[in-house]
Protein backbone atom coordinates (compact mmCIF):
# COMPACT_ATOMS: atom_id res chain seq x y z
CA UNK A 1 0.00 0.00 0.00
CA UNK A 2 1.15 3.53 -0.71
CA UNK A 3 -0.62 4.74 2.44
CA UNK A 4 -1.23 3.13 5.85
CA UNK A 5 -4.82 2.33 4.91
CA UNK A 6 -6.82 1.05 1.96
CA UNK A 7 -10.59 1.53 2.23
CA UNK A 8 -12.72 -0.79 0.11
CA UNK A 9 -15.86 1.23 -0.48
CA UNK A 10 -18.98 1.81 -2.51
CA UNK A 11 -20.43 5.32 -2.57
CA UNK A 12 -23.06 5.99 0.08
CA UNK A 13 -22.56 2.59 1.68
CA UNK A 14 -21.38 1.89 5.22
CA UNK A 15 -17.87 2.66 4.01
CA UNK A 16 -18.91 6.33 4.11
CA UNK A 17 -18.77 6.21 7.93
CA UNK A 18 -15.18 4.97 7.79
CA UNK A 19 -14.23 7.53 5.12
CA UNK A 20 -15.57 10.33 7.32
CA UNK A 21 -13.57 9.05 10.28
CA UNK A 22 -10.34 8.81 8.28
CA UNK A 23 -10.91 12.30 6.92
CA UNK A 24 -11.63 13.69 10.39
CA UNK A 25 -8.45 12.06 11.71
CA UNK A 26 -6.54 13.38 8.68
CA UNK A 27 -5.20 9.90 8.02
CA UNK A 28 -4.07 9.24 4.43
CA UNK A 29 -5.77 6.33 2.71
CA UNK A 30 -6.41 4.84 -0.70
CA UNK A 31 -10.04 4.33 -1.72
CA UNK A 32 -10.70 1.17 -3.72
CA UNK A 33 -14.09 0.87 -5.43
CA UNK A 34 -16.10 -2.28 -4.83
CA UNK A 35 -18.41 -2.21 -7.84
CA UNK A 36 -21.71 -3.56 -6.56
CA UNK A 37 -23.18 -3.59 -10.08
CA UNK A 38 -20.75 -6.41 -10.81
CA UNK A 39 -21.23 -7.96 -7.36
CA UNK A 40 -17.54 -7.42 -6.72
CA UNK A 41 -18.21 -7.82 -2.98
CA UNK A 42 -18.90 -11.49 -3.70
CA UNK A 43 -15.73 -12.08 -5.69
CA UNK A 44 -13.19 -14.58 -4.43
CA UNK A 45 -10.65 -11.80 -3.98
CA UNK A 46 -12.96 -9.70 -1.83
CA UNK A 47 -14.18 -12.66 0.21
CA UNK A 48 -10.59 -13.23 1.29
CA UNK A 49 -10.78 -9.81 2.95
CA UNK A 50 -14.32 -10.19 4.32
CA UNK A 51 -15.87 -13.65 4.20
CA UNK A 52 -19.34 -12.11 4.75
CA UNK A 53 -19.06 -10.25 1.45
CA UNK A 54 -20.08 -6.92 2.96
CA UNK A 55 -18.74 -3.40 2.59
CA UNK A 56 -16.53 -1.92 4.04
CA UNK A 57 -13.15 -3.47 4.58
CA UNK A 58 -10.22 -1.41 5.81
CA UNK A 59 -6.80 -2.83 5.05
CA UNK A 60 -4.32 -1.81 7.72
CA UNK A 61 -0.71 -2.59 8.66
CA UNK A 62 -2.22 -5.11 11.11
CA UNK A 63 -4.31 -6.80 8.44
CA UNK A 64 -7.81 -6.28 7.02
CA UNK A 65 -10.64 -5.28 9.34
CA UNK A 66 -14.34 -5.65 8.58
CA UNK A 67 -17.50 -4.72 10.53
CA UNK A 68 -18.05 -0.97 10.71
CA UNK A 69 -18.10 -0.74 14.51
CA UNK A 70 -14.87 -2.70 14.80
CA UNK A 71 -13.12 -0.49 12.26
CA UNK A 72 -14.22 2.69 14.02
CA UNK A 73 -13.16 1.48 17.44
CA UNK A 74 -9.80 0.25 16.14
CA UNK A 75 -9.09 3.60 14.46
CA UNK A 76 -10.10 5.56 17.56
CA UNK A 77 -7.81 3.50 19.77
CA UNK A 78 -5.00 3.44 17.24
CA UNK A 79 -4.92 7.20 16.81
CA UNK A 80 -6.04 8.29 20.25
CA UNK A 81 -9.09 10.33 19.37
CA UNK A 82 -12.80 10.44 18.49
CA UNK A 83 -13.69 8.14 21.42
CA UNK A 84 -12.97 7.95 25.17
CA UNK A 85 -9.65 6.28 25.91
CA UNK A 86 -9.75 2.67 27.16
CA UNK A 87 -9.06 3.81 30.71
CA UNK A 88 -11.60 6.65 30.67
CA UNK A 89 -14.58 6.40 33.06
CA UNK A 90 -16.72 7.35 30.05
CA UNK A 91 -15.56 4.37 28.02
CA UNK A 92 -18.25 1.90 29.12
CA UNK A 93 -21.14 4.22 28.31
CA UNK A 94 -19.60 5.13 24.96
CA UNK A 95 -19.16 1.47 24.04
CA UNK A 96 -22.74 0.54 24.84
CA UNK A 97 -24.07 3.27 22.53
CA UNK A 98 -21.58 2.49 19.78
CA UNK A 99 -22.59 -1.16 19.75
CA UNK A 100 -26.26 -0.31 20.16
CA UNK A 101 -25.92 1.79 17.00
CA UNK A 102 -24.06 -0.94 15.14
CA UNK A 103 -25.80 -4.08 16.34
CA UNK A 104 -29.34 -2.81 16.89
CA UNK A 105 -30.04 0.33 14.86
CA UNK A 106 -27.91 -0.37 11.80
CA UNK A 107 -28.82 -4.05 11.71
CA UNK A 108 -32.50 -3.19 12.05
CA UNK A 109 -32.27 -0.92 9.03
CA UNK A 110 -31.33 -3.89 6.88
CA UNK A 111 -34.86 -5.19 7.47
CA UNK A 112 -36.14 -2.05 5.75
CA UNK A 113 -33.69 -2.08 2.88
CA UNK A 114 -33.90 -5.80 2.10
CA UNK A 115 -37.30 -6.83 3.44
CA UNK A 116 -37.79 -9.36 0.63
CA UNK A 117 -34.79 -11.31 1.92
CA UNK A 118 -36.53 -11.82 5.26
CA UNK A 119 -40.20 -12.36 4.40
CA UNK A 120 -40.15 -13.28 0.70
CA UNK A 121 -41.78 -11.63 -2.33
CA UNK A 122 -45.23 -10.96 -0.87
CA UNK A 123 -45.69 -7.16 -0.79
CA UNK A 124 -48.12 -7.27 2.12
CA UNK A 125 -45.63 -9.20 4.22
CA UNK A 126 -42.89 -6.75 3.29
CA UNK A 127 -45.02 -3.77 4.26
CA UNK A 128 -45.95 -5.43 7.53
CA UNK A 129 -42.30 -5.98 8.37
CA UNK A 130 -41.39 -2.41 7.48
CA UNK A 131 -44.18 -1.01 9.62
CA UNK A 132 -42.92 -3.02 12.57
CA UNK A 133 -39.35 -1.85 11.99
CA UNK A 134 -40.45 1.79 11.69
CA UNK A 135 -41.80 1.58 15.24
CA UNK A 136 -38.63 -0.04 16.52
CA UNK A 137 -36.36 2.50 14.84
CA UNK A 138 -38.40 5.41 16.17
CA UNK A 139 -37.92 4.00 19.67
CA UNK A 140 -34.19 3.54 19.09
CA UNK A 141 -33.78 7.07 17.75
CA UNK A 142 -35.58 8.45 20.79
CA UNK A 143 -33.05 6.63 22.98
CA UNK A 144 -30.13 8.06 20.99
CA UNK A 145 -31.69 11.52 21.13
CA UNK A 146 -31.90 11.27 24.92
CA UNK A 147 -28.26 10.18 25.05
CA UNK A 148 -27.23 13.17 22.96
CA UNK A 149 -29.35 15.49 25.12
CA UNK A 150 -27.15 14.61 28.09
CA UNK A 151 -24.28 16.26 26.16
CA UNK A 152 -21.55 13.72 26.86
CA UNK A 153 -18.14 14.62 25.50
CA UNK A 154 -18.30 11.77 23.01
CA UNK A 155 -21.74 12.23 21.39
CA UNK A 156 -23.45 15.24 19.90
CA UNK A 157 -21.00 17.80 21.25
CA UNK A 158 -18.24 20.05 19.97
CA UNK A 159 -15.65 17.25 19.87
CA UNK A 160 -16.65 15.00 16.98
CA UNK A 161 -16.62 11.26 17.66
CA UNK A 162 -16.94 8.09 15.62
CA UNK A 163 -20.43 7.70 17.08
CA UNK A 164 -21.46 11.11 15.74
CA UNK A 165 -20.53 10.14 12.21
CA UNK A 166 -22.07 6.69 12.50
CA UNK A 167 -25.46 8.03 13.65
CA UNK A 168 -25.43 10.89 11.14
CA UNK A 169 -25.01 8.46 8.24
CA UNK A 170 -27.84 6.27 9.52
CA UNK A 171 -30.08 9.36 9.68
CA UNK A 172 -29.19 10.05 6.06
CA UNK A 173 -30.12 6.58 4.89
CA UNK A 174 -33.41 6.53 6.77
CA UNK A 175 -34.48 9.46 4.59
CA UNK A 176 -33.39 7.89 1.31
CA UNK A 177 -34.04 4.16 1.52
CA UNK A 178 -35.96 2.20 0.56
CA UNK A 179 -36.91 4.49 -2.30
CA UNK A 180 -40.52 5.60 -1.88
CA UNK A 181 -40.84 4.13 1.61
CA UNK A 182 -39.54 6.85 3.92
CA UNK A 183 -42.66 8.82 4.86
CA UNK A 184 -42.37 7.58 8.44
CA UNK A 185 -39.14 9.50 9.06
CA UNK A 186 -39.03 13.12 10.28
CA UNK A 187 -35.69 14.23 11.72
CA UNK A 188 -37.30 17.09 13.65
CA UNK A 189 -38.83 14.49 16.00
CA UNK A 190 -35.33 14.02 17.44
CA UNK A 191 -34.03 17.58 17.91
CA UNK A 192 -30.72 16.71 19.52
CA UNK A 193 -29.83 14.34 16.69
CA UNK A 194 -30.95 16.98 14.21
CA UNK A 195 -28.71 19.57 15.85
CA UNK A 196 -25.78 17.17 15.82
CA UNK A 197 -26.27 16.43 12.13
CA UNK A 198 -26.40 20.15 11.33
CA UNK A 199 -23.17 20.78 13.27
CA UNK A 200 -21.35 18.08 11.35
CA UNK A 201 -22.22 19.27 7.84
CA UNK A 202 -19.85 22.29 7.66
CA UNK A 203 -16.84 20.28 8.89
CA UNK A 204 -13.91 19.98 6.51
CA UNK A 205 -13.97 16.20 6.78
CA UNK A 206 -17.62 16.08 5.72
CA UNK A 207 -17.03 18.49 2.83
CA UNK A 208 -14.26 16.25 1.51
CA UNK A 209 -16.54 13.22 1.70
CA UNK A 210 -19.28 15.20 -0.08
CA UNK A 211 -16.86 15.95 -2.91
CA UNK A 212 -15.66 12.35 -3.13
CA UNK A 213 -19.08 10.68 -3.06
CA UNK A 214 -21.37 13.36 -4.53
CA UNK A 215 -23.60 13.58 -1.45
CA UNK A 216 -24.97 17.10 -1.92
CA UNK A 217 -24.56 20.16 0.32
CA UNK A 218 -26.61 18.87 3.27
CA UNK A 219 -25.96 15.12 3.42
CA UNK A 220 -27.46 14.58 6.88
CA UNK A 221 -30.21 17.18 7.30
CA UNK A 222 -31.52 17.29 3.70
CA UNK A 223 -30.11 14.21 1.97
CA UNK A 224 -30.21 13.59 -1.74
CA UNK A 225 -29.10 10.55 -3.68
CA UNK A 226 -25.39 10.30 -4.34
CA UNK A 227 -23.97 11.32 -7.69
CA UNK A 228 -20.43 10.24 -7.09
CA UNK A 229 -17.38 11.29 -9.11
CA UNK A 230 -15.71 8.17 -7.69
CA UNK A 231 -17.21 4.86 -8.77
CA UNK A 232 -20.92 4.09 -8.91
CA UNK A 233 -23.66 4.08 -6.31
CA UNK A 234 -25.88 1.03 -6.63
Q: Are 130 and 111 in contact (CB under 8 A)?
A: yes
Task: Give the separation between CA 145 and CA 196, rounded to whole angstroms.
Answer: 10
Predicted TM-score (pTM) above 0.75: yes
The model's confidence at residue 234, banded by pLDDT at 50, 70 and 90, is very low
Burial class (CB within 10 angstroms; exposed 0-12, middle 13-18, buried 19+) of 184: middle
Summarize pLDDT for 43-76 with one digit per residue, the tens.
999 999 999 999 999 999 999 999 999 999 999 9
DSSP 151-209: --TTSSSSS--HHHHHHHHHHHHHHHSSTT--TT--GGGSHHHHHHHHHHTTSHHHHHH
The model's confidence at residue 178, banded by pLDDT at 50, 70 and 90, is confident
Q: Are 41 and 55 in contact (CB under 8 A)?
A: yes
Q: pLDDT exceeding 90 applies to what percent of the chain?
A: 79
Summarize pLDDT for 104-156 with one digit per residue, the tens.
999 999 998 888 889 899 989 888 988 899 999 999 999 999 999 999 999 99
Residue ranges of domains in the chain: 91-203
User: How many other C-beta atoms can be found within 10 angstroms of the C-beta atom of residue 175?
Assistant: 16
The model's confidence at residue 230, banded by pLDDT at 50, 70 and 90, is low
The CATH fold assigned to 91-203 is Glutathione S-transferase Yfyf (Class Pi); Chain A, domain 2 (1.20.1050)
Q: Identify the CA nearest to 195 among candidates 220, 224, 173, 176.
A: 220
Task: Give the separation between CA 31 and CA 10, rounded to whole angstroms.
Answer: 9
The dihedrals phi and psi of 231, each to the nearest 5 degrees, come to 70, -155
Task: Give the separation between CA 206 and CA 217, rounded to whole angstroms.
Answer: 10
Q: Identify the CA nearest to 203 among candidates 159, 234, 166, 172.
A: 159
* pLDDT score for 233: 42
Phi-psi region of 45 (alpha: psi -120 to 50; beta: other; left: phi over 0): alpha
In sequence order, the β-bridge partners of residue 76 are none
Amino acid sequence: MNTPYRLHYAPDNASLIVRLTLEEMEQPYDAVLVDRRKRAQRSAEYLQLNPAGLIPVLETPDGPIFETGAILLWLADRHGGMAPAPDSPQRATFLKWLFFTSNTVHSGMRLLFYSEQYVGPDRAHQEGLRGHVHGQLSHHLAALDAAAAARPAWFGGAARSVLDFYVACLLRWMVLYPVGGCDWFDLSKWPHLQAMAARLEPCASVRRAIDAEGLGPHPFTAPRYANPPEGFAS
